[in-house]
Amino acid sequence: ECKCHGMSGSCTVKTCWMRLPPFRVVGDNLKDRFDGASRVMVSNAGSLRNTGGRKSRYNFQLKPYNPDHKPPGVKDLVYLEPSPLFCERNPKLGIQGTHGRQCNA
């Protein structure tokens, strides 16, 4: 987005800035990625094959947990382990649970 400055709108100086989309749009995009997140496993770089000419920045590779799924893309959201069930009490993780209350998970 830009704004002109000058006499009678002559635009002798132009100020431009980047603008974020509305918060709702950012949230919706994050939710879509969260809903489509893939469970992955970490594989050693020693077993890395050629990745189509791209050099990996890290010494590991993410592989799908389910071998029938395709590998995650660069912008995909991934996770290593499923989230704990917050409805159930788990003192080891410090989760109080929802005993006596409705759980909306």
**What are the tens digits of pLDDT across the range 1-10?**
899 988 877 8
The predicted model gives 83-105 an average pLDDT of 86
Q: Please state the pTM of the whole predicted model.
A: 0.60
pLDDT digits (tens, 9 = 90+) for 15-52: 999 999 999 999 999 999 999 999 999 987 655 555 55
What is the residue extent of each domain of the chain?
1-35, 37-105
Residue 59 or residue 13, greater confidence: 13
DSSP string, the chain: -EEEESGGG--SEEEE---PPPHHHHHHHHHHHHHT-EEEEEEEGGG---BTTBPPSSSEEEEESSTTSPPPPTT--EESSPPP-TTS-BGGGTB---TTS----
pLDDT exceeds 80 at position 88: yes
Question: What was the pLDDT predicted at 67?
Answer: 92
Question: What was the pLDDT predicted at 35?
Answer: 93
pLDDT exceeds 80 at position 76: yes
